[in-house]
């Protein structure tokens, strides 16, 4: 009997809650797609770990919450079961906050980093990025450059 087996390896640091930026590379039928996301809820003071977001993003139940990547994959006609996934997580940039007023500026900061990463992938690197991203705050240029360098390394690892 031949039972398929699969490996997963990750650093325990991605279990830490806080404000993270992450980039997914999804390979499907010899094409690559990217999904850029962040932790830091829009409607509560919660900021999950990237590991926690993996399960939420790939929850394909009709009533799933926080499954925006799953919805984007479906819209693009990508079969997740026949895909390969790879993710880079950057952070945490900030700790999870105890109240929503302290949470909002950090969430907005992360939303802008998300936009910058998505724009870098699509405009400068010519990659297909799934989803829509909205700029919410100003971020330092040197931080954007550092994130772009990390993404560039991520892209080149597979070459």
- Reduce the DSSP state of residue 87 to 3 states and report it: strand
Position 12 pLDDT exceeds 90: yes
Which tokens is 66 given?
Answer: 């926080």
Percent of the chain with pLDDT over 90: 68
Residue 61 lies in a domain: yes
- Reduce the DSSP state of residue 85 to 3 states and report it: strand
Q: Could you give the number of structural domains in the chain?
A: 1
Residue 134 lies in a domain: yes
Residue 31 lies in a domain: yes
Tell whether omega for the bond before 92 is within 30 degrees of 0, i.e. cis.
yes
pLDDT in tens, 38-75: 999 888 899 999 999 888 888 887 777 777 888 889 98
Beta strands at 128-130 and 31-38: parallel, antiparallel or unpaired? parallel
Residue 99 lies in a domain: yes
Full domain range(s) for residue 58: 17-147
Residue 76 lies in a domain: yes
Give me the pLDDT at residue 55, please.
Answer: 85
Give the DSSP letter of residue 15. Answer: G
Confidence band, pLDDT 50/70/90 cuts, at residue 159: low
Give the DSSP letter of residue 38. Answer: E
């Amino acid at each position: 009997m031949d039972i398929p087996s699969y490996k997963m390896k990750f650093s325990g640091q991605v279990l830490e809650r806080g404000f993270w930026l992450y980039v997914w590379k999804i390979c499907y039928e010899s094409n690559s797609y990217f999904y850029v996301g962040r932790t830091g809820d829009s409607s509560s003071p919660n900021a999950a770990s990237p590991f926690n977001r993996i399960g939420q993003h790939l929850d394909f139940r009709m009533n799933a919450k926080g499954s925006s990547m799953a919805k984007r994959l479906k819209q693009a006609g990508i079969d997740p079961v026949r895909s390969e996934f790879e993710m880079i997580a950057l952070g945490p940039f900030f700790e999870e906050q105890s109240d929503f007023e302290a949470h909002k500026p950090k969430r907005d900061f992360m939303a802008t980093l998300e936009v910058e990463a998505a724009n870098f992938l699509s405009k400068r690197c010519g990659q297909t990025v799934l989803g829509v991203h909205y700029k919410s705050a100003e971020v330092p240029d040197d931080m954007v450059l550092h994130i772009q360098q990390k993404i560039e390394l991520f892209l080149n690892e597979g070459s």
